[in-house]
Structures are given as structure tokens and as C-alpha cells.
Structure 1
Amino acid sequence: MPNVVYIGGFQCKPARPLPAELEEFVQSAGQHGVIIMTLGTHVNALPKDVTEEIAGVFAKMPQKLSSLP
């Protein structure tokens, strides 16, 4: 949009440490790391084919079993 001035970060708060159990999970992920994907309230608006495509991509990635809720 031509009439928008980006002022990114003005709403951001300083980072805080992860909760202990989440930090342990992230550190145990090894060389593959972790991916966090959020869709917020838009998750219900995704078409089924898009949802299946996202699930298919994640299914092909290296997995780590989680005991997190």
C-alpha cells in the first residue's frame, strides 16, 4: 500500500526467557531446531487444501516426539 509508513517494532516488548519446560524442549531439538507457526484466529478460515498442504510439509520434516501438552 503506497500510503503506509512502516514503523515495525513499536508494539514489541523486550524478550523474556522461555518457561523452563519449553526451553528444555527447544534445547533438546538438536541440529534440526524447532518451528513455531501460529495462525491465530485465521486457522478456521483456511481452506482444506491449504491445511492439508501445510500438514504435508510438516510431515516430511524431521520429527521429535514431544511430551508437552
Structure 2
Amino acid sequence: MYDGHMFGFGWGFMWLFWVVVIIAIVFMVKTFLGNSSSQDKEPKSAEEILKERYAKGEIDREEFERMRKDLNS
């Protein structure tokens, strides 16, 4: 009676179903990988942050030495 076409909606819904399944799988993989990698990282120490700021040029050598001395005392 329908000649296997289901009024033309069969292929459209099947295509939409697989797109939703693929998007869900990608989302789950990204969520899983994102959470595991962020949990493995330890927070940076104050001295590491200070070294990064000096390397970026945000602070000069005098300020770097003064701040490092404050951290170590």
C-alpha cells in the first residue's frame, strides 16, 4: 500500500536519527576527554606563574626578583 516509502518521511527520519546519534557520540567523547585531562593537571605554583609573567614581559627583572624573594621568605 505504501510501497515502502512511508509518505517520504522514512529516509529523512533515518538520516536525522543517525545525525543525532553521531552528534551525541562526539559530545560524550569530548566531555569525557575534557574532564579527564583537566582533572590530571595540577594547579600552577605561585613561582611558576611568576616565571611565566616575567617571560611574557609583564614584569621587569627587578620586580621579578623582589616578588620571588617575597615568595621564598
Q: In which range does the TM-score fall when normalised by the shorter chain?
A: under 0.3
Larger radius of gyration: 2
More helix by share: 2
Tell me the TM-score normalised to structure 2 length.
0.23
Tell which has more relative contact order, 1 or 2 (C-alpha 8 A, sep 6+). 1
